[in-house]
Amino acid sequence: ETGVTQSPTHLIKTRGQQVTLRCSSQSGHNTVSWYQQALGQGPQFIFQYYREEENGRGNFPPRFSGLQFPNYSSELNVNALELDDSALYLCASSSYRESTYEQYFGPGTRLTVT
Amino acid sequence: AQSVSQHNHHVILSEAASLELGCNYSYGGTVNLFWYVQYPGQHLQLLLKYFSGDPLVKGIKGFEAEFIKSKFSFNLRKPSVQWSDTAEYFCAVTVTGGGNKLTFGTGTQLKVEL
């Protein structure tokens, strides 16, 4: 069974640029969630995708957008990058979208905005 | 909206000492409670979870947690820590009926000294 994978591992971008982060969910999982973890903080929920549709969103502006593909992999896109977007971005997958289903986390993508 | 508080940001213990990490949540409805651990250089992984039933739950590696509804608390305990328990610990909740959106605390960095 393959776990959750994310790419790239690290990324450096300039303020104002756009970035795309990728996540492959664990085998058999149809729900993917994205979290932002700033330094010294706990992960914060960005949004969740279930069967290719957005299924809940946290307190993040519209320049954070996402996609889920038929194979349940997912992308997180961030436009007009700001310095405060520098963080570890975590992807998590679960076998269903309900609150009692365990989420399995990937290793994260470290984004630095200069 | 729900929130999670972890009172201890940094804890230093000697091997064989007992551990208790505090976690309180605020939400008036039914919650599901989790403790996640992040060992240095590794993914976030689930230590234990509580959905219903016996409020004392046991997890991996000798950890346990007790849900006290009247205190909105879910403290993590271990009778005797080991050097390998050095890690960051996160308490998190989901809300029943609110989808699989984890709300995390800010984390507790535990260092166990030999």
pLDDT tens-digit series, residues B94-107: 988 877 899 999 99
Residue labelled with tokens 């909740």: B93
Residue labelled with tokens 């310095």: A83
**CA–CA distance, B34 with B49 (Å, rounded to integer):** 4
Closest chain B residue to A99, measured at CA: B100
Read off the tokens for B71.
Answer: 């205190």
Comparing CB atoms, the residue among A4, A40, A94 nearest residue B100 is A94
Under 8 Å CB-to-CB from A28, ≥6 apart: which residues? A1, A95
The amino acid that residue B93 corresponds to is: V
| Peptide bond before residue B40 is cis, with ω within 30 degrees of 0 | no
DSSP-assigned states of every residue in chain B: --EEE-S-SEEEEETT--EEE--EEE-SS-EEEEEEEE-TTS-EEEEEEE-SS-SEEE-GGG-EEEEEGGGTEEEEEESS--GGG-EEEEEEEEETTS-S--EE---EEEEEE-
Does A45 reach chain B within 8 Å, measured CB to CB?
yes
Q: Residue A101's pLDDT is what?
A: 83
Closest chain A residue to B44, measured at CA: A105
Pairing of strands A109-113, A10-13: parallel
Q: What is the tens place of the pLDDT at every residue in B49-85?
A: 999 999 999 999 999 999 999 999 999 999 999 999 9
Mean pLDDT across B23-52: 93
Q: Residue B54's pLDDT is what?
A: 95
* Candidates B39, B102, B103, partner chain A, best to mutate (most A CBs within 10 A): B102
Cβ contact, residue pair A96, B49, below 8 Å: no
List, as ranges, residues 71-90 from A with C-beta within 8 Å of B: 90
Q: Residue A1's pLDDT is what?
A: 55
Q: Is the pLDDT of residue B26 over 90?
A: yes
Residue-wise pLDDT tens for chain A (114 aa)? Answer: 569 999 999 999 999 999 999 999 998 899 999 999 999 899 999 999 999 999 999 999 999 999 999 999 999 999 999 999 999 999 999 988 777 788 999 999 999 999
> Which residues does B contribute to its contact with A (CB < 8 Å)?
4, 6, 32, 36, 42-46, 49, 51, 90, 92, 94-107
Q: Is the pLDDT of residue B14 over 70?
A: yes
Kindly report the backbone phi and psi dihedral angles of residue B70, in degrees, each rounded to the nearest multiple of 5, phi listed first.
Answer: -65, -25
Kindly report the backbone phi and psi dihedral angles of residue A92, in degrees, each rounded to the nearest multiple of 5, phi listed first.
Answer: -135, 140
Q: Residue A97's pLDDT is what?
A: 76
Mean pLDDT across B40-44: 91
